[in-house]
A = this chain, B = another copy of it.
Amino acid sequence: MIGHGFMGAAHSQGWRVAPRFFDLPLEPEMAVLVGRNAAGAEASARKWGWDESATDWREVIARDDIDVVDVVTPGDTHAEIAIAALEAGKHVLCEKPLANTVEEAERMAAAAAAAAERGIRSMVGFTYRRVPATTFARDLVAEGRLGEIRQVRAEYLQDWLMDAEAPLTWRMQKDRAGSGALGDIGAHAVDLTEYITGQRVTTVSGIIETLVEERPLLGEGSGLSGTATSERGKVTVDDIALFTGRLESGALASFEATRFRTGRKNALRIEISGSKGALAFDLERLNELEFYDATLPATGLGFQRILVTESDHPYMGPWWPTGHMLGYEHGFSHQVYDFVTAIDEGTQPRPSFEDGLHVQRVLEAVERSSASGSAWIATGD
């Protein structure tokens, strides 16, 4: 595993826990954790249960006893590491967003395609596809329970930047993060829409905006923690992204990604309206899916709050009895299960780098639309 921030903790928990609940066809070993800072990497490795730590990812990738590389660094390093790993014949799991630019993402997708020819697998980490409720939502759409899709509303609402004095971290710097709310959380809204509907966003019109343009610099670098100083730095990414897209079928989807929706902590929500039914999901209540069956008699219509905790719900079998809740990190175990299974079976795991590239194209199209007065921009598919 390359990287050891917040995502490092989450991925480690996935690798650790998945084999204890799921019947994996292969037994993953948590071999090496790589970080630039030797002491920090060593501490994280010990804490999270990796056998050893290292500081040079190239050396690790070159090792024969490494089969899988898990990339959890900031987006600006994804392309270099993932491509090198694929070329070294390692299966690669790469955190989202796939890259910071379409150009990088294209090179990664090409490398993934080439690697796939040699039986090397790659996958991008949109874990919110692996919440049982969202997977179940996808199944309901695929079974036709919604009929023809008429509209989609997808939003990812947070408020952690509403304090204008919140310090400047790498997530607010374009060269590190690529974009702001758009790429960090809007990417999830786009991916989830495409995943559940089974349709891609083909064209977009929208606006991105930075509300707080300068923030206090952190004393000790650009980590997630650290004390704010009196110096200020420029926020070079968006705080808010509002955009409308069209799906392949022509249906309209409206999107919002924001770090300024006061009181909303982690509200990735999607509502899909179809000719036969509707679905609504909110990550703040991740064990629930709301389903509306429009084919019932008029007096019996209503959104149904399904607790997605039955053993027959996706991924739920190996966990707890009905009514016992999953949390945020369970999706990382599901991700490990799917990835390892695909490696064993020799199938292409999804979301593929190609899927990740497409999301990147949508994000870039939003930025271009915003720069040209919200003109409609094709996503190039």
Contact = CB atoms under 8 A, between A and B. Distances in A.
A151 B300 contact: no
Given A303-B305, A312-B298, A252 B209 contact: yes
Given A162-B294, A323-B284, A327-B326, A262 B10 contact: no
Given A47-B20, A207-B205, A261-B273, A6 B321 contact: yes
Interface string A1-33: 000001001101100110011000000000000
Chain A interface mostly: mixed
B292 A262 contact: yes
Contacts of A261: 151, 153, 271, 273, 278
A136 interface: yes
Given A263-B301, A266-B324, A16 B20 contact: yes
B305 A275 contact: no
A302 interface: yes
A39 interface: no
A335 to B, nearest CB: 15
A229 to B, nearest CB: 22
A67 to B, nearest CB: 21
A159 B310 contact: no
Interface of A: 6, 9-10, 12-13, 16-17, 20-21, 47-49, 136, 146, 150-151, 153, 158-160, 162, 164, 205-207, 209, 211, 240, 242, 244, 252, 254, 256, 258, 260-267, 271, 273-275, 277-278, 283-287, 290-292, 294, 298-310, 312-313, 320-330, 373-376
Contacts of A271: 261
21 contacts: A10-B320, A150-B162, A151-B260, A162-B273, A207-B244, A240-B252, A260-B273, A262-B273, A262-B277, A263-B294, A263-B303, A264-B273, A266-B324, A285-B285, A299-B310, A299-B313, A300-B304, A301-B306, A302-B306, A373-B376, A374-B376
Nearest to A292: B263
The 4 closest A-B pairs by CB, nearest first: A266-B323, A265-B323, A327-B327, A263-B292
Contacts of A47: 20
B304 A162 contact: no
Contacts of A301: 263, 306-307, 310
A328 B320 contact: yes
Given A328-B324, A375-B374, A309 B265 contact: yes
A334 to B, nearest CB: 13
A284 B308 CA distance: 11
A29 to B, nearest CB: 13
Contacts of A291: 300, 302
B307 A304 contact: no
Contacts of A312: 298-299
Given A262-B275, A302-B307, A374-B374, 4 more contacts: A261-B273, A262-B277, A301-B306, A324-B329
Given A17-B17, A294-B162, A320-B329, A265 B307 contact: yes
A198 to B, nearest CB: 18
B6 A20 contact: no
